[in-house]
Each structure stands twice: as C-alpha cells, then as structure tokens.
C-alpha cells in the first residue's frame, strides 16, 4: 500500500501540470484564413450524428454529450448513441417501429452524402471542403491527390477529405511535436517488435523487388523479378505478409506522389504496426494541449514535453484517455460488459433501444459499460499507422488488406433459403486465463447468448409495434446459427483455463463459405482487433449485423441502417431486429423482408463503389501527404498553396 501512495501523488501532479500548461495561443501558421458559409445539404441532425466531438456541458465540472432530435423522422438520440422506444411513448409518427424510422433516416443520409459528393467538381471545391472541415490548409501535393481521385474508374473516389477524416485528424496532435522528435521516435520504434517502416527514396534507390509502375500493380511474387523502386523496408515486420499486403496497395501509387517527397532530407520514413489491435494512448489533457499547440503553430518546449510524458508513464487505464468529467473517468467502479447485474434497463423493462449514432455508441468514455478495467499504460506519442483504433486511441488508422482479396459468389436474395443470423469464429479477442474475465469477452458472450438455455423469457418488439413475451432459447434456436468453432485457443493450460473453455463451451463444426451464403443474415464481431471479414460479408449480399468498437478508415461514408445493421455490444437488440425483418415468431405478423433485401444490396454496392482498390489507395495517398507535412522541417512550406 505504501508503494502506491507516491504514484497517486505523481498522477495528481501530472494532471495539475498538464492543466497549467494552457496559455494564450496565436493563429496557426497552416490554418485556413477563409471563412466559409454553410452550404452543405446536411441537416442539423445529420451534422450532430456525424460529429466526433462531444457537446461540452456549460458546467465545467461535468462532461456530457447532449441529446439531439431528428425532427424529420421523430428520432431522439441520447448520449450513448441510442434511440429508445416503449409502448407508453408518443403517438402517430412516434409509434412507428423505430427500426423503420432508422432505415428511412439512413436513406436520407445516403442521399445527402451523394449530393455532397456531386457538388465537388473542381480542385477548388475539394480544397474548400478540406479547409471547412478541418480549419487548416491541405498538405502539399493535395492537387496530386485530387487528380488521382478523378483519374480513377467511375464512380471516382470522392475528392472530399471530409469523408475520410482519419487520413487527417490523427496527425493534428503530432504536429505539436518538433520535427526532430518525430524523426528520433520513428527511428526508435523501428527497432521494436511488430513494426515495419517504409522509407521513401528516389526511384531506383529502393530495395530490390519494389520497382512498380502505376499501370503494373504489384504482388509479393514480383519481389523476385522487379528492380529497385522508391521504398526501403525495415523493421521486425519487414517483408512479412502484412507488410507485403501494404506494398501491394502502395507501390502502384508512389509514382503519382510529388517528386519532392522522395528527396526529403532525412528521407521520409513511415512506420506501420504489424499487430491486429491499436497501440497508442495518451492522456486527454495532453492530447488537447497538443492539438491547441498545433493549431497555434507551436510545438512543445522540450523540457515541458519530457515532464508531461514522464508523468503519463505512471498512469494506467483507458479512463486517462477520456475528457475530464467523462462517465468512464468519474465512475467509481469499472464494469466489464455483460458482467453487470441483470439488464441495463431493469427499471424500464419494456423500453427498447437501438443504435442510431455509431460514433457515440462506440465511445467508451461516455459508455463505461463498454470497457472493463484495462491495465494499458499511456505512452509517448509516435505516429504509427495501425490496423485499427478505438475512438480515443492516438493511432493513425491505415488500410489493412486482410481478407480484402477474398472472393465470394453472388447469390440473389430470393435464393438465400435460411432466414437466420450466421456466425462461426475462433475464441480470439483476449488471453484466456484466471486473471481475465474471458467469459465476458465479445465472442464468448455471443456464443453464450445463443446457447444459454437458462436465460428465461424476453419481451419482443414486433413489426407492428406490439410486444410479446417469448422464451429466449426458443428465439435463439429459431433465428440464430452462431457459435465458436474449433478448439480452445489463446488460453493458459497451466492454470486450467483451456480445460475450463473446453468444458463450458460446446464448440461447433466449421461451415464452408459457400454454405454460409445460404443465410440472409450474418453477424460480424471483433476479434483480436477489428474484423477482417467485414468486406467479404458486405459483398455477399447478406444483411450484416455488426458489433464493434473500431471505426475504420471509411466509417464516415458507411451509413448505419442503410449499408449494415448496427448491433449493441450486449446483443440485447438482436431478437428485436430479427423480429422486425422476419416477422413474429408464430408467423402471424409479417416482417419487412423487403427492407432487409435493400440493406443487403446497399452493403454490396458499398464494396463495389466505395471499398475498391482505388478507394483504399485514395485514402492512403492523402494519409502519406499528411505524414509528409508532419515529417517536414518547415510545415508551413509543406502545406498546399492555391495557384494565383
């Protein structure tokens, strides 16, 4: 106990120190000086739904997201991103089934997004969009990115940086670090495990096997027949499968990047993480200060940076990444999802909730029930491109190609004969041992949800707005074909956890991919990180029910209830969702199979039109330009200048 007291004082001193660093700032040297009128077609409700920043309470001692209301469709969204329904609420439009309203809203959001894309017809429009969304000038070479989008096959990748914000937003806090520190930290992280780096050099000076023209493409087998290209590859993960996938994505677009990028001194070196999950996390106060410095055109003084980061090293837990006053930070006890006593809505047994705002629903700072007590330490900021991130990680989100090249046969909706939710998967996601609550992890919870004969009865919301009481296991047998497959994995044999898994989990047989296409519905859940199955599932003409904490590079363009069906992490909404689409269990009340068919079609169209190779390359093209600015000694000169 005596050893913990100094750490507590150090943590308190760290917070006080970071708060004391706030001071008056001047205009940022790469900040856009233009003031743009509001010309977007997005409604207030749409803007709120897409907004990543929380609405801050006027009470300085409290942090909260304000509820908002979509008056066009009678949907109110709470601080956790949920819309609720109960038999006693409202009349008329408000008595319509909430899923029907959410689907209508999704269609409107899709129309507004397409209208926004159609308005951008020039480089000037694209610059306008960037400056309006981020308040900064675009990075140098922005015109090359715009040209790439317009030269790609129709439909062109949208030339709107606002629709791929993860290519920009993670870099803002890093702009507060002096360039020399960026260089030294990248050099340091290169020597650590599970990292590979790409160093960009003039054509012909790269590694053997990396030569690639824009019209060629590149696959790992080309390593043996190509000459020297524009990139040198280093690190523990160099030339391994994830590195090679990234080369497949990037080598064809390197000739299109500005020539100056390849002659930088020192050469631009971009690090990538080989791991499945996120890696970076810093204090929210530190991040906010870093962003303020960046916008002011300032960088951290070395002594203050050292002191601030040293203070962070004494702190552990996800809550430190949250704003002051956020529920996760103020909650006295962190709870593991589904390790709660009873239902989260015991006092409102008849109330039903559905995800209306994905970003809010995946924000563990305002949803403490999403996270357990995690002993993850805060770390120094290093701009590593990771495969995924949560809402509050400091990582740069890349485009992992895991599963992207999987092909599936097209099966028309009418030929899908099984109206159940399908899922098979291994027990990944965490280490199974006596110290971790593995029974509450996402995949195990899904298995137990479908195979828990002692769950009793549940109240079901039916398509016509009425409710009925049904047995949980009977509903699971009727509408779910999900379960863990294989054998116990990622478990500790010594402490008996592998035996516990084998005893408690009835592992199911695997199912061939061609047989899984017979199902109308599939569910996609996280594993060790984000799910690499998502693209394949969307392309399979299924309705994809998705439960995740990880927004991906395209998340601004992916519309809930239009391209897919979002599912709460406790799975409490699955039966109500299935009842809406399939009808009442007894068949007396018809479901909305027609709307399910539309969602399946929209999901497939998203893959065909917004998740192609050129769309992924467009995102990475802009990300590399943003990183080039970060790497540059003169970041003002590394920003875009409009022609006179």
DSSP string, 233-254: EESTTTTSHHHHHHHHHHGGGG
Backbone dihedral angles phi then psi of residue 4, each to the nearest 5 degrees = -80, -25
User: Residue 371: what pLDDT?
Assistant: 63
User: Residue 43: what pLDDT?
Assistant: 40
pLDDT digits 0-9 by tens, 431-468: 899 988 899 888 999 999 999 877 789 999 999 999 99
Distances (CA, A) of 314 to 21, 303, 317, 322, 323: 19, 18, 11, 16, 18
User: Residue 88: what pLDDT?
Assistant: 66
Query: Who wins on pLDDT, 154 or 20?
Result: 154
Backbone dihedral angles phi then psi of residue 446, each to the nearest 5 degrees = -65, -45
What letter does residue 211 receive in the DSSP assignment? -
Cα distance between residue 69 and residue 75, in whole Å:
6
Cα distance between residue 508 and residue 525, in whole Å:
17
Average pLDDT, the chain: 86
Cα distance between residue 554 and residue 610, in whole Å:
8
Residue 83's nearest CA partner among 69, 63, 62 is 69
Q: Which residues contact 377 (CB under 8 A, 6 or more apart)?
A: 281, 313, 315, 316
Q: What share of the chain in percent tops pLDDT 90?
A: 66
Cβ neighbour number for residue 374 with a 10 Å cutoff: 14
Question: Which whole number is the average pLDDT over 153-164?
Answer: 97
Task: Pick the range with the lowest mean pLDDT from 92-96, 333-337, 466-470, 583-587.
Answer: 333-337
Cα distance between residue 424 and residue 446, in whole Å:
10
**Cross-strand bridge partners of residue 232:** 199
For residue 503, pLDDT over 90 is answered with: yes
pLDDT digits 0-9 by tens, 54-95: 343 434 444 556 888 888 777 899 989 999 988 766 555 557
Q: Where are the alpha helices (DSSP H) in 467-573?
A: 472-479, 497-504, 513-516, 534-539
Residue 293's nearest CA partner among 129, 181, 128 is 181
Full DSSP string of 556-593: TT--BTTTBEE--TT-TTHHHHHHHHHB-TTSSSB--H
- Measured in residues, the chain has a length of 644
Question: Which whole number is the average pLDDT over 399-426?
Answer: 94
pLDDT digits 0-9 by tens, 543-575: 999 999 899 999 999 999 999 999 999 999 999
Task: Pick the range with the lowest mean pLDDT from 165-169, 387-391, 398-402, 558-562.
Answer: 387-391
Cα distance between residue 272 and residue 242, in whole Å:
9
Question: Which top CATH class is 413-609?
Answer: alpha beta
Full DSSP string of 278-344: ------HHHHHHHHHHHHTT----HHHHHHHHHHHTT-BSGGGGSPTT-HHHH-SS---TT-SSS-T
Residue 534's nearest CA partner among 519, 520, 548 is 548
Full DSSP string of 348-383: GTT-EEEES-HHHHT-TTT-GGG-----PBP-----
Cβ neighbour number for residue 502 with a 10 Å cutoff: 13
**Cross-strand bridge partners of residue 407:** none
Yes or no: say if 384 and 273 are a contact pair by the CB < 8 Å rule.
yes
pLDDT digits 0-9 by tens, 18-48: 444 444 333 445 776 554 443 333 443 344 3
User: Residue 335: what pLDDT?
Assistant: 37
Q: Which residues contact 35 (CB under 8 A, 6 or more apart)?
A: none
Task: Pick the range with the lowest mean pLDDT from 367-376, 588-597, 607-616.
Answer: 367-376
Cα distance between residue 397 and residue 363, in whole Å:
17
Cα distance between residue 529 and residue 406, in whole Å:
19
pLDDT band at 314 (very low <50, low <70, confident <90, very high): low
Q: Which residues contact 448 (CB under 8 A, 6 or more apart)?
A: 439
Cα distance between residue 74 and residue 52, in whole Å:
22
User: Residue 495: what pLDDT?
Assistant: 96
Cβ neighbour number for residue 34 with a 10 Å cutoff: 11
Distances (CA, A) of 543 to 54, 137, 425: 30, 40, 18
Domain limits of the chain?
413-609
């Amino acid at each position: 106990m005596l050893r913990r007291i100094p750490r507590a004082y150090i943590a308190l001193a760290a917070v006080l120190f970071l708060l004391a660093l706030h001071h008056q700032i001047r205009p940022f040297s790469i900040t856009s000086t233009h003031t743009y009128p509001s010309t977007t077609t997005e409604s207030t409700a749409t803007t709120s739904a897409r907004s990543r920043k929380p609405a801050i309470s006027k009470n300085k001692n409290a942090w909260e997201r304000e509820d908002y209301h979509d008056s066009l469709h009678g949907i109110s969204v709470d601080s956790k991103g949920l819309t609720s329904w109960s038999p006693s609420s409202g009349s008329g439009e408000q008595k319509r089934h909430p899923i029907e309203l959410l689907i209508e809203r999704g269609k409107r959001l899709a129309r507004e997004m397409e209208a926004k894309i159609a308005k951008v017809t020039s480089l000037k429009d694209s610059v306008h969009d960037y400056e309006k969304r981020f308040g900064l000038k675009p990075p140098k070479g922005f015109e090359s990115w715009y040209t790439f989008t317009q030269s790609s096959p129709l439909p062109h990748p949208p030339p709107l940086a606002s629709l791929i914000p993860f290519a920009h937003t993670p870099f803002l806090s890093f702009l507060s670090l002096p360039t020399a520190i960026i260089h030294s930290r990248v050099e340091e992280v290169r020597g650590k495990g599970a990292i590979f780096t790409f160093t960009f050099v003039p054509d012909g000076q790269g590694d053997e096997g990396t030569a690639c023209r824009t019209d060629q493409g590149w696959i790992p087998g080309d390593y043996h027949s190509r000459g020297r290209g524009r990139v040198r590859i280093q690190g523990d993960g160099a030339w391994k499968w994830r590195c090679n996938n990234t080369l497949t994505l990037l080598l064809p677009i390197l000739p299109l990047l500005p020539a100056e990028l390849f002659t930088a001194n020192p050469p631009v070196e971009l690090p990538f993480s080989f791991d499945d999950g996120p890696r970076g996390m810093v204090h929210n106060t530190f991040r906010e200060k870093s962003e303020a410095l960046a916008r002011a055109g300032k960088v951290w003084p070395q002594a203050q940076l050292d002191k601030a980061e040293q203070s962070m090293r004494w702190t552990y837990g996800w809550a430190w990444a949250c704003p002051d006053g956020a529920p996760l930070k103020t909650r006295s006890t962190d709870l593991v999802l589904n390790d709660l006593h009873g239902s989260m809505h015991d006092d409102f047994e008849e109330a039903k909730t559905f995800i209306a705002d994905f970003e809010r629903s995946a924000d563990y700072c305002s949803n403490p029930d999403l996270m357990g007590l995690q002993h993850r330490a805060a770390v120094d900021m290093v701009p590593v491109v990771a495969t995924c991130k949560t809402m509050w990680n400091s990582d740069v989100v890349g485009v992992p190609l895991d599963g992207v090249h999987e092909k599936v046969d097209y099966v028309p909706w009418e030929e899908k004969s099984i109206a159940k939710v399908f899922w098979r998967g291994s027990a990944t996601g965490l280490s199974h041992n006596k110290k971790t609550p593995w029974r509450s992890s996402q995949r195990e919870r899904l298995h137990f949800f479908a195979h828990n004969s002692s769950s009793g009865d549940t109240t079901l919301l039916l398509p016509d707005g009425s409710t009925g009481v049904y047995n949980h296991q009977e509903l699971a047998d009727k509408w779910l074909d999900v379960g863990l497959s294989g054998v116990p994995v990622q478990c500790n044999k010594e402490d008996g956890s592998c035996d516990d898994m084998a005893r408690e989990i009835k592992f199911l047989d695997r199912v061939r991919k061609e047989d899984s296409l017979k199902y109308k519905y599939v569910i996609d859940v996280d594993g060790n990180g984000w799910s690499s199955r998502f693209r394949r599932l969307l392309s399979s003409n299924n309705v994809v029910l998705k439960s995740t904490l990880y927004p991906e590079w395209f998340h601004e363009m992916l519309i809930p209830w239009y391209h897919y069906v979002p599912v709460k992490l406790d799975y409490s909404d699955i039966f109500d969702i299935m009842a809406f689409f399939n009808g009442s269990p007894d068949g007396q009340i018809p479901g909305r199979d027609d709307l399910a068919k539309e969602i399946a079609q929209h999901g497939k169209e998203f893959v065909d039109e917004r998740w192609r190779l050129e769309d992924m390359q467009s995102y990475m093209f802009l990300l590399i330009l943003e990183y080039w600015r970060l790497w540059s000694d003169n970041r003002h000169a590394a920003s875009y200048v409009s022609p006179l």
